[in-house]
Chain A
Amino acid sequence: MVKVIKPGFFSTIQDFGRMGCQHYGVPYSGVMDSYSASIANAILGNNKNAAVIEMTMTGATLQFNCDTIICISGADMSPQLNSNKIKPHKSIPVKTGDVLSFGKLNYGFRSYLAVSGGFNTEVIMDSRSMYRDITSKLVLSKNYELPISNFILNNIKHASIKVNTSHFTSKQIEVFKGPEFDLLSVEQQEKLFSTAFTISKENNRMAYQFNETLVNDLPSIITSSVLPGTIQLTPSGKLIILMKDCQTTGGYPRVLQLKETSINILSQKFTGQNITFKLVKN
């Protein structure tokens, strides 16, 4: 069992999310940066879909009430075990009573904590990912207890994976044409691919928005399906990039679609950072 001493700014339990429930209006959810989360699980030899803690901007303080092995990946939030610095992307044995905490955010925006065997919180619709009206908890809170399996600390594998640093430094977001791309004027298309867009304060697990807008007179469309990574263009010219907790349908033109790897990259960006779009072929 792991006890939450401090939850951090916004920490949730996530796995790879819910598939096959969108026809009930249930979002996909799941880890925002699946690349980083997968690395932590892979290093521990966990199932790919094992649940991790996703921490946003600031890390949590957690106390372990059993022995286990942990691995941290994603954003660098200066992790410490009992006040001693620990390294990311590495198996770290943890003993009963140990306290994991985080400090300064050095790079990235979302950090992942995996434990051996994954967090065993409730499974709803085949997923542990927290979401309003689906799971009973929406976010980690103080004193919340997360069930994990006890792990016997022997035979620790020292797997390590080299992490591509461009994952955190790249400003280029690769996109496909969205279903309504061809409705855009030549000027709009040029603007889309020549502007450095600044991430606005409106950025969360549902969507990212930008400070810059596009001159737009495209009307809304008949409500249709959307996906995480879909970029919608609103009548006022705002671009909305849908993320993992997005609604299942939308009525704005879907002008671009992020590559899945670009969703991971964008998930590590925060307010004030710039990105550019690069069009790639399906």
Chain B
Amino acid sequence: MTFNLVYRPYGERSILIEWPSVIDEDTLFNVLSFKDKILKENIELIIEINHAYNSLLIVYKNYLIDFNNQVSLLKKIYKQKEKLIGSVFKQWRIPVCYDAVFGIDLEAMSQSKSFSKEDIIKRHSQATYTVYFIGFLPGFLYLGGLDEALHFPRKETPRLKIKKGAVAIGGNQTGVYPNESPGGWNIIGNTPISFFDVTSNNPCFAKSGDRIKFHPISLEKYRDIETLVNAGVYQMESEVLDG
């Protein structure tokens, strides 16, 4: 599949490539395929390739003297055959405790939506989410696939401190706060899993294109897993996805 892409200069040393303004998986996998092709070219002058829902940012080591020349090179690379075959995508099973101790906004959401808390938890943990990209904070996954019934506006006044591991809903998105931070999303639970480990060669276990499933656990189980995570011996549960 090829899309109509727009190439723009962005500052002195970057090129921004944009896909049509849509958030969907066809766009995501086309972005990832292009990114993969560029990476395989091993262009030394590129120091960073970063993507979001429908865009790819390429940062060069030096100022771009000939933008058009660079763009025609990129266009040539885009036309190459798909090379995503070989990329292995995984589905990760993330334990989440939706207990009221953590899910401090569940009650308010439940009342506003006239769903039971159990219903919210069920809908949230039944869906399979796609990892689109990592941004906002170190290790923050942008996930697609939140049940429409769970869309819920961000809080008008953000909280100054949200606990590390908080599982939250903001507008049409759901996500996990990888570290303590301020934030305006509605908190429905917490995971003991670490989403960002600065000491690891691979600081984020999940990558774009992977899937995430949230799995409800009790407070007791949460404490058990937390102990294992802190001791560095917790085994993440994942399976390799076909195709």
Contact = CB atoms under 8 A, between A and B. Distances in A.
B23 A222 contact: yes
A23 B10 contact: no
B204 to A, nearest CB: 5
Interface stretch (A5-13, A61-69, A137-145, A224-232): A224-232
A229 B13 CA distance: 12
B202 to A, nearest CB: 9
A26 interface: yes
Interface residues of B, number: 38
A3 interface: no
B46 to A, nearest CB: 9
B10 A24 contact: no
Contact of B57 (A27, A221, A225): A225
B11 A23 contact: no
A93 B134 CA distance: 46
Interface in B103-129: none
B52 A249 contact: yes
B48 A19 contact: yes
Contacts of B11: 176, 227, 229, 257-260
Interface stretch (B87-95, B135-143, B218-226, B231-239): B135-143
Contact of B47 (A20, A134, A257): A20
Interface string A108-145: 00000000000000001100000011100000000000
A178 B57 CA distance: 13
A222 B54 CA distance: 8
B152 interface: no
A126 B137 CA distance: 18
Chain A contact residues: helix, strand, loop or mixed: loop
B55 A225 contact: yes
Interface stretch (B14-22, B69-77, B183-191): B14-22
B30 interface: no
A274 B144 CA distance: 42
Interface residues of A, number: 31
Contacts of A23: 48-51, 133-134
B82 interface: no
Interface in A242-282: 247-249, 257-260, 282
Nearest to A22: B50
Given A223-B52, A224-B55, A225-B16, A179 B8 contact: yes
Interface in B181-211: 196, 198, 203-204
B29 interface: no
B135 A179 contact: no
A223 B50 CA distance: 12
A133 B203 CA distance: 12
B112 to A, nearest CB: 23
Contact of B138 (A19, A134, A225, A259): A134
Nearest to A181: B8
B179 A19 contact: no
A125 B198 contact: yes
Given A23-B133, A179-B8, A247-B135, A282 B67 contact: yes
Contacts of B145: none
Nearest to A261: B12
Contacts of A224: 16, 18, 52-55, 57
Contacts of B203: 24, 26, 125
Contacts of A258: 11
Given A222-B52, A227-B57, 13 more contacts: A24-B204, A25-B139, A134-B198, A179-B16, A221-B21, A224-B18, A225-B55, A229-B11, A249-B135, A249-B136, A258-B11, A282-B9, A282-B64
Interface of B: 8-12, 14, 16, 18, 21, 23, 47-55, 57, 59, 64, 67, 133-140, 142, 178-179, 196, 198, 203-204
Q: Closest 7 interchain pairs by CB?
A: A249-B135, A225-B57, A282-B9, A224-B55, A25-B134, A133-B179, A224-B52
24 contacts: A23-B48, A23-B51, A24-B196, A24-B204, A25-B137, A25-B138, A25-B178, A125-B198, A133-B137, A133-B198, A179-B8, A179-B16, A221-B21, A223-B53, A223-B135, A223-B142, A225-B52, A225-B55, A227-B14, A249-B133, A249-B136, A259-B11, A260-B11, A282-B9
